[in-house]
Chains A and B, each alone.
Chain A
Amino acid sequence: MKKVIEVKNLTKEYKKLKAVDDLSFDVYKGEILGLLGPNGSGKSTTINCLLSLLNFSNGSIKIFDCDMKPDAYDLKRKIGVVFQDVSVFNELNVIDNIDYFCGLYIKDKITRKKYVDEAIELVGLTDFKKFYPKQLSGGLLRRLNIACGIAHKPEIIFLDEPTVAVDPQSRNNILDGIKKLRDNGATILYTTHYMEEVEILCDRVIILDKGKILASGTTDELKKMASTSEKVSVEVNDLDNKKIDKIKTLKNVDEVTYKDGILLINYKKGKNNLVDIIEFLKQENINYNKIYSERPTLNDVFLELTGKELRD
């Protein structure tokens, strides 16, 4: 696959603080790469360096094999950005806002009109063309923010936490829109601290903390890094220590905890763990209400790597 972004040894220092610490990664054409990390992990700083909004202390950034510089206007034409904060004119309606930001890239009126209409359709704002930002709900405003960033049909799109504080319906709409952009050939660099979004969207993920890459790979590859391969929770009353000790001796069981009527069993690996525990509960005549199994999440991986939750 062709590399469209190449970052080598990127370092950004604020006095003594290293916001980005020797970061190296590549982004390939047509993929969605997720930058996952808690607040302050260096995601936005990395993106700002990539966009030449910030000078960096060390390293190199190449986009389409060219050095990214503030005056690299030809390169900038191929890039679209959706910032975390909504960046639109409150004084302009939806269509005028998109037209303005698209106009910063596309000078031809007819092409621009076509692109603006397509962007409006993509984010589902067709019924709100003449609405002003203040008349839009938080979710619709986010969609407008996205439309303003992608209307000029960029080849690379930077999406910096575009779904923060968005209602579920708008979030689904936004995620569908991002998939459509990828399907249309765009390469996307997606930063978020919502692991569910990363799992739904991203082909590859980079986990960042304190400006460093902790791990990278596909979501499945990352999950395999977790020591726990399966978690089974059972709602059960009156479980004595003897039975808990027996559970600990079952195959593949790594850790067992029982608290507030919930029995939590972590399995190292293996198959049919759920079937095994159900068999055991039957044999021991233990009554249970609910039982469910969970695969490890990226949060579990992050927890193991850093000792803290992703949303801390």
Chain B
Amino acid sequence: MTVFKTFFKILNKNKFIVILYTVILLVFGGFNMQTSERSLSFKPSKPNITIVNNDEDEGITKSFINYIKDNSDIPDIKLDNESLDDALFYEDTSYIVFIPKNYHTDFINGKNPFITIKKSNNYNAFYADMIVKRYLSIANSYVGSINNEDELIKLIDDTIDTDVKIEITSKIDSTNIDKASFYFNFESYSILACLIYVICLILSIFNNQNIHKRTIISSTNYKKNNRILLLSNLLYAFILWLFYLIASIVLLGNIIFTTYGVVFSINSLLFTICATSIAFFIGSIVTNKNAISGIVNVVALGSSFLCGAFVPTEYLPDSVISIAHILPTYYYVNTNDRIKDIEVFNMDNLKPIIINMIIIIIFIIVFIIFTNLMSKIKRKIG
């Protein structure tokens, strides 16, 4: 009880640092969630497409031009070559469609006339390309079977106008799941920082050579003493995890009580245990209290950045992702991202999540082995 009480007295003396990292989680996590909410509501926009029509405004040419006009904005640009090049360069237009002479007649006659395209490299050009190719691929699929131009145009227009009916089968609020994913990803930083800082600090205090000597010569069993210290650290880690879980209920609402929430929670509990084992390992190496803050920044902040806890992994370069694979945070964040994308919980969907969790468990075992090795080496040197 003495060791247990002293552990929490020392923790109480350092509560500021735990509060600081928790506030960071709640403030930045909350901010991130608001950002994600904004990014989920979007306004459709149309690309700028310029049409240079060398054909008559008739038949399929007319239909094609009308389709482009319906699905894009037509900028007011002079149609000479120099003006068109300038417009592309200054991004006044993203996409220029050159319709050749006799296009509609050649098309009906199956001569497969060639439409020339000039485009810039921006996303608008990509979008415009999709629009144009959609029409042309539909038209090409019908041209061989129908010889009447009016019929062909009608069929193309009908196909294009057909709405895709979407039935939402999932009752889960995807916005809230995204928010939860943001929160739990960000939580990895706070958990790592709080655990590494406090556990390393407390271990460095208890392992101080002089205090250590006093403990060894006392009538308390040294191994029992160490076990109490270990349990105190685990209890602290569990309380921290529980606190962040309660905070997630406050911030995210009922999502935590769904299957998604349960899997998120299991993942964060596993990560908390892993972070505790990392903290023990670092604590077994580091004895200098002044070095702890630096280590927290390198390990917690570094791994959170590398593994996509702050910035989604799709924005990270491949080289960074490759490095991230050696860190447990990557598998934790990856699991959160996968949970977010799950529509139905079945074995196929859960398999990669379970594999990630097993990898985290392997990390836990490896860190425990390393910690024991370090302790043995230190004891030998001592």
List residues of A whose CB falls within 8 A of some B CB.
51-53, 70-71, 73-74, 76-77, 79, 81, 83, 85-92, 96, 99-101, 103-105, 107, 148-149
A contact residues around B211 at 8 Å (CB): 87-89
> Does B373 lie at the interface of the complex (its beta carbon under 8 Å from any beta carbon of A)?
no
User: Complex: how many Å from CA A92 to CA B217?
Assistant: 21
Min CB distance A61 to B, Å, is 14
Taking CB atoms and an 8 Å cut-off, the chain B residues in 193-228 that contact chain A are 205, 208, 210-211, 213-222, 225
Given A76-B217, A77-B219, A83-B210, 5 additional A-B pairs, CB 8 A = A74-B219, A87-B214, A103-B2, A104-B219, A148-B214
Say whether, besides A103-B2, A148-B214, A91 and B205 are in contact (CB < 8 Å): yes
Could you tell me the distance in whole angstroms from the C-beta of B4 to the nearest C-beta in chain A?
10
* Complex CA distance for A91 and B6, rounded to whole angstroms: 9
Known: A76-B219, A104-B215, A104-B219. A89 touches B10 (CB 8 A): yes
Task: Enumerate B66-105 residues with CB–CB distance to A below 8 Å.
Answer: none
B217-A100 in contact (CB<8A): no
**Distance between A156 CB and nearest chain B CB, rounded to angstroms:** 12
Chain A residues with CB below 8 A from B225, complex form: 104
Enumerate chain B residues within 8 angstroms of A77, measured Cβ to Cβ: 219
16 contacts between A and B (CB under 8 A): A53-B213, A71-B221, A74-B219, A76-B217, A76-B219, A79-B217, A83-B213, A83-B214, A91-B10, A91-B13, A92-B10, A96-B9, A99-B2, A101-B218, A104-B220, A105-B218
B219–A105 contact, CB under 8 A? yes
Please give me the residue from chain B that is nearest to A90 by CB atom: B205
Residues of chain B lying within 8 A (CB to CB) of residue A53: 213, 216-217
**Number of residue pairs A-B, CB distance < 8 angstroms:** 65
With both chains docked as a complex, state the minimum distance between the C-beta of A151 and any C-beta of chain B, in angstroms.
11
* A49 vs B330: C-alpha distance when bound (angstroms): 49
Q: Within 8 Å CB of B210, what residues of A?
A: 83, 85-87
Q: Which of chain B's residues has its CB closest to A72's CB? A: B219
Residue from B1, B214, B222 in contact with A101 in the complex, judged by beta carbons closer than 8 Å = B214
One of A88, A96, A104 near B218 (C-beta < 8 A): A104
Q: B-side interface residues toward A, CB under 8 Å? A: 1-2, 6, 9-10, 13-14, 205, 208, 210-211, 213-222, 225
Instruction: Please indicate which of the listed interface residues B10, B214, B219, B221 has the most CB atoms of chain A within 10 Å of its own CB.
Output: B219
Complex: how many Å from CA A105 to CA B10?
21
Contact flag A73-B219 (CB < 8 Å), given A92-B10, A103-B2: yes
> From DSSP, what is the main secondary structure of chain B's interface residues?
helix
What residues of chain B lie closer than 8 Å to A79, measured between beta carbons? 217
List, in ascending order, chain A residues with CB within 8 A of B214's CB: 81, 83, 87, 101, 104, 148-149
CA distance A22 to B205 in the complex (A): 37
Cα A87 to Cα B221 in complex, Å, equals: 19
Q: Give the docked Cα–Cα distance between A101 and B9 (Å).
A: 14
Bound CA–CA A96/B2 (angstroms):
10
Contacts of A91 in B (CB 8 A): 9-10, 13-14, 205
Contacts of B213 in A (CB 8 A): 53, 83, 87
SS of A interface (majority): loop
| Most chain B beta carbons < 10 A, residue from A83, A90, A91, A96 | A91
Please determine whether A73 and B217 come into contact, CB atoms closer than 8 angstroms.
no
Cα separation A90 to B9 with both chains bound (whole Å): 12
Residue of B nearest to A145 (CB): B210
Q: Which residue of chain B has the shortest Cβ distance to A54 in the bound complex?
A: B382
A66 shortest CB reach to chain B, Å: 13
Who on chain A is nearest to B222 by CB?
A70
Complex formed: what's the CA distance from A83 to B217 in Å?
11
Nearest Cβ distance between residue B7 and chain A, in whole angstroms? 11
Within 8 Å CB of B208, what residues of A?
A: 87
Q: Are B6 and A92 in contact (CB under 8 A)?
A: yes
Minimal beta-carbon separation of A4 from chain B (angstroms): 17
Interface centre among B208, B210, B218, B222 (most CB of A within 10 A): B218
The 5 closest A-B pairs by CB, nearest first: A103-B2, A87-B210, A104-B218, A77-B219, A76-B219
Whole-angstrom distance between the alpha carbons of A123 and B14 in the complex? Answer: 29
A20 to B214, CA, bound (A): 22
- Verify A100–B219 contact, CB threshold 8 A: no
Residue in contact with B221 in the complex, picked from A73, A81, A149, CB distance below 8 Å: A73
CB of B19 to closest CB in A, whole Å: 17
Distance, CA A104 to CA B222, complexed state (A): 10
Of residues A81, A85, A96, A103, which shows the largest number of chain B Cβ atoms within 10 Å of its Cβ? A103
Cβ–Cβ < 8 Å partners of B14 in chain A: 91
Instruction: Name the B residues within 8 Å of A86 (CB-CB).
Output: 210
Question: Residue on A with the closest CB to B2?
Answer: A103
Residue of A nearest to B212 (CB): A87
Task: Give bound CA distance, A73 to B217, whole Å.
Answer: 9
Q: In whole angstroms, how far apart are the Cα atoms of A99 and B1 in the complex? A: 12
For the complex, give the distance between the alpha carbons of A88 and B215 in Å. Answer: 11
Smallest CB–CB gap between B202 and chain A, Å?
9
Nearest B residue to A82 by beta-carbon distance?
B214
A111 to chain B, nearest CB (A): 13
B217: chain A residues at CB < 8 Å are: 51-53, 76, 79, 81
Least distance between A165 CB and chain B CB atoms (Å) = 15
Q: A73-B221, A83-B210 are in contact. Are A89 and B6 (CB under 8 A)?
A: yes
Closest to A73 in B: B219
* B194 CB, min distance to chain A CBs, angstroms: 17
Most buried by A among B205, B214, B220: B214
Instruction: Across the interface, name the chain A residue whose C-beta is closest to B206.
Output: A89
Chain A residues within 8 Å of B10, by CB? 89, 91-92
- Please state if B218 and A76 are interface contacts (CB–CB under 8 Å): yes
Chain A residues with CB under 8 A of B13: 91
Q: How far is the CB of B92 from chain A (nearest CB, A)?
A: 67
Cβ contacts under 8 Å, A83 to chain B: 210, 213-214
CB-based nearest B residue for A79: B217
CA distance A242 to B296 in the complex (A): 80
Complex Cα–Cα for A149 and B210 (A): 12
